[in-house]
Amino acid sequence: MFAVKHNDVDYYEGVIETLNKIDVSNTTTNILLKSFVETKLLKEISLSAYDITEGKGKKEDFLKLLTSYNTEQGSAVTKEEFEFVSDDIEELLDKTFRKPGLRWRLSALNRMLGSIRGGDFGFIFARPETGKTTFLASETTYMAEQLSSEAGPILWLNNEEGGAKVKVRCYQAALGAALAAINSNPAGARKAFMDKTRGKLMLLEPKGSISKQMVEKLVHQYKPSLVLYDQIDKLTGFTNDREDLRLGAIYQWARELGIAYDFPSIAVCQADGTGEGQKWLTMGNVANAKTAKQAEADWILGIGKTPDIGYENLRYLHASKNKLAGDPDSDTSLRHGRQEVIIRADIARYVDIN
C-alpha cells in the first residue's frame, strides 16, 4: 500500500487487518493511515538525501520528494472553522420556539416540555415493568407521522426486548388497536401502519451489544430525524474506573452526537430501588448516577407508578429537569410539572386524563 519493501507490505497489511477486527473510530483510523504516508515520505527523503551526499542521487528527485511531503503536510493542516450564533432574533425564535420540532402524542408533554428539536438530548427513567417501551412506542409512532418524505428516519436502537415484540407494539400504538384486531387482518394493519409511518420507524435489533462505533456508522449513513437509545446504559465502547463516570461519558457522547448531526435524542434508563412504588420520581432516583448522567440532559422525565389497587393503569410523569424552550402553547408553570396519565397496555399507548 505505502511500502517500498516486502517487509513493509507485510507490516502494513497486518495493521490494516487488525483495524478491521477491532472496534476503532474512523478518526483514529485516519490518523494512523496518515502517519503511514508521512513515515513513507520521510524515509524516502532521508534515503534520497543520503544518495546525493554519496554522489549517487539527483537533486531534482530530492526536491520533488520534499515538495510532495510539504504538500501532504499542508493538506493535513486545514484552517479551523468557527461558527457563531446569529444575532437575528427572528431566526433565533424560529429555530428554538416558533417552528415546532417533534411534538408529543401526550398533550401533557406538549404543555410541560414542548417540541424536541435538533441537538436536544433527554431521557426517561422508571422502574422495571412500568411501561418504558410502551411509552416509546406511543410517542415515536406519532412523531414518525410528522416527518416529511425527505426527512431522515427515526432510529430505535433496541438492546432491551425482542425486536419483533417491540415492533408489534409499535403497530398497536400507531393504529390504536388491540393485538386481536391486528391479528384478524394483518394485511390491512400493515397498509395502515405504513400509510401512517411511511417506513420512517427503523428498529435495530443487533446480534450482540450495540457499540459506540456502530451507532456512529448508523447516524452517518441514515442521517436520522430522531435517535432512541433503549437502553442507553448498555452501550459498549466506553471505559472508566468509576461506573457513574463511564455512564456519564455515554450520555455526553450521545448528546454531542445529536448536536453534530442536528437530531434530537431520547434515551431510556432505569430508576433505582428508591423509586419503587413512588409516584413522582426525581433525579435522585436515577440508577447508577450521582450527577454525571443528569448533567448532560436537556430534559429528564420520570415515570412513576404505585402498587395501590385501582391505580394500576395510572402513570405519574414528572419533568425533573427541563431546559427546553417549549412551544407557543407550552405552559411555563408546568416546566417542572407533574401530570397523571393513563397507560393503555392493550393498545400500547399513553393517553391524557384531561
pLDDT digits (tens), the chain, 354 positions: 444 455 566 666 666 666 666 655 566 666 667 777 777 788 888 888 878 887 777 878 878 877 877 776 665 544 557 889 999 999 999 889 899 999 999 999 999 999 999 999 999 999 999 999 999 999 999 999 999 999 999 999 998 889 999 999 999 999 999 999 999 999 999 999 999 999 999 999 888 899 999 999 999 999 999 999 999 999 999 988 889 899 999 999 999 999 999 999 999 999 999 999 999 999 999 999 889 999 999 999 999 999 999 999 999 999 999 999 999 999 999 999 999 999 999 999 999 997
The predicted structure's pLDDT at residue 71? 72
Question: How far apart are alpha carbons 267 and 155 in whole angstroms?
Answer: 12
Please write down the HEC assignment for all residues of the chain.
CCCCCHHHHHHHHHHHHHHHHCCCCHHHHHHHHHHHHHHHHHHHHHHHHHHHHCCCCCHHHHHHHHHHHHHHHHHHCCCCCCCCCCCCHHHHHHHHHHCCCECCCCHHHHHHCCCECCCCEEEEEECCCCCHHHHHHHHHHHHHHCCCCCCCCEEEEECCCCHHHHHHHHHHHHHCCCHHHHHHCHHHHHHHHHHHHCCCEEEECCCCCCEHHHHHHHHHHHCCCEEEEECHHHCECCCCCCHHHHHHHHHHHHHHHHHHHCCCEEEEEEECHHHCCCCCCCHHHECCCCCHHHHHCCEEEEEECCCCCCCCCEEEEEEEEECCCCCCCCCHHHCCCEEEEEEECCCCEEEECC
Task: Please name which of 234, 338, 322, 335 lies closest in space to residue 278, comparing C-alpha atoms.
Answer: 338
The predicted structure's pLDDT at residue 240? 84
Q: Confirm if 210 and 186 have CB atoms less than 8 A apart.
A: no
Q: What sign results for the dihedral spanned by CA atoms 175, 176, 182, 184?
A: negative
The predicted structure's pLDDT at residue 75? 55
